[in-house]
Structure 1
């Protein structure tokens, strides 16, 4: 199996997409790396512009992997591939993917469960929350202004392909979005250390938006001052708080349980 050779412009495009947020936004493109993530992209309704393989990957897997369809595939020397890759031990396969634009209406069909993120800065947390929301059957993600770029390579890697499974809206005016979802019938549940009720006492069975705040400061005062139900996760031990990605898993799986998504109630 032989593949084409990328142009210098395409090589520079990949380098810039991996390193520069503003360039990703202008081009409307992002990069996913690794065999699993590339397969997820190819199996999704996202448009894959082209794929880059290292010659080492081709030697090991080229004859076994035929899942590229009509997508253009380029082969580069392993040494060059390492200069493109954002990982320490690259698998040797990456894809350039076109971003998709989503609207509020894409997140709120049926009995929706939306995750809203206020000031999440850590790429690992962002990616893990997206992955957890996907696993729990959430309808979509709202990443407010001030959150880490959801197309950051570290975020994409942490989602383990979930970025392709549910709508993710980024750089959203969160106050506006929460008002819009409230108009559409959603209850707003906000996680807060100052919450008076346990998260277990909240009802997640009807349309709901669950808001999680930044790692350092939690949910902003502007969001806390909006009409909402504020809940907290009880901490019987000595830890001051929980990691936000862990907290998201706890609440989202309680919501999934109440909705009968795990076991019949």
Structure 2
């Protein structure tokens, strides 16, 4: 391990801190992953993209010890840092003692669609927590991939990365394409486009999910734009059986994705 990094104003620390900004991430071709779970999944699933791991000097515990060994085994540079340096590097209000820097893992649109299972499309999703939670749900429900349109939050925003809880490294994700481009690629792949929206005439339990399909999820506040809904094959509504006014984006998306998972794996339902 290198000597302990103790100066929060050092050039290395400033470069890591700069990754909180999208412009710096694009310029450096790097992003920040914070916390034990994110670092573990990075080292286990995509170690070739890891550029460095930073761990709190003197920190003890089985988890951090395990992660340091993983970094060494995978020849990822490992640095011990002081509490002040960890706080300066991290975006989280209460850093968890370890962080990593990695190269982006997104893939080309057509490469992401090369597989089996349902597809998730995010358009105009602006809240980092929602975007990351939907990606985590897509991973858990067995989605083929997640396609994030150019109008949505940056996938590598530290809050998005944290909220995926490591799922960012588990399934293909494509970013930066327009909705018309995404829809054209989905149709070329033989997918039915299902718009998830509260104004839908089709209820989720009545939706045909046994054929290849893509769920389209929109903005947290105003849902899908009319032209996006109109471009889809069907507009689906999650039924509300109680008195709740609505479900938030991440909740509704998870319900829809697990309906797709149940259709694909009926014996597990």
- Taking structure 1 as the reference length, the TM-score comes to 0.91
Q: Which residue matches 1:4?
A: 3
- Preserved CA contact (<8 Å) 1:31 1:97: yes
- Across the aligned residues of Structure 1 and Structure 2, the Cα RMSD in angstroms comes to 1.9
Where in structure 1 are there 5+ consecutive unaligned residues?
none
User: How many pairs are equivalent?
Assistant: 261
Q: Which residue matches 1:202?
A: 207
* Residues 50 and 110 of structure 1: CA distance in aligned 2, closer, same or farther (over 3 Å): closer
- Shift of residue 101, structure 1, vs aligned partner: 3.7
Q: Does 1:229 align with 2:228?
A: no
Q: Does 1:83 align with 2:85?
A: no
- Shift of residue 5, structure 1, vs aligned partner: 4.5
Q: Which residue matches 2:164?
A: 159
- Shift of residue 15, structure 1, vs aligned partner: 0.4
- Shift of residue 89, structure 1, vs aligned partner: 2.4
Q: 1:66 aligns with which of 64, 69, 78?
A: 69
- Preserved CA contact (<8 Å) 1:56 1:78: no
Q: Which residue matches 1:14?
A: 16
- Preserved CA contact (<8 Å) 1:112 1:206: no
Where in structure 2 are there 5+ consecutive unaligned residues?
none
Q: Distance in 2 between matches of 1:188 and 1:142?
A: 13
Q: Once the two structures are superposed, what CA deviation does each residue of 1:23-80 show, in whole Å capped at 9, x if it has no partner?
A: 11222211111112111101112510011112132x5566654111201111121222
- SS for the counterpart of 2:171 is coil
Q: Distance in 2 between matches of 1:35 and 1:175?
A: 38
- Preserved CA contact (<8 Å) 2:110 2:185: no
- SS for the counterpart of 2:222 is coil
Q: Deviating runs (4+, > 4 A) in structure 1? A: 59-65
Q: Which residue matches 1:128?
A: 133
* Residues 15 and 253 of structure 1: CA distance in aligned 2, closer, same or farther (over 3 Å): same
30-39 or 109-118: which moved more?
109-118
Q: Once the two structures are superposed, what CA deviation does each residue of 1:101-146 show, in whole Å capped at 9, x if it has no partner?
A: 4122222234331100111111111111000000000011111122
Q: Distance in 1 between matches of 2:65 and 2:161?
A: 27
Q: Distance in 2 between matches of 1:144 and 1:20?
A: 19
Q: 1:263 aligns with which of 242, 262, 267?
A: 267
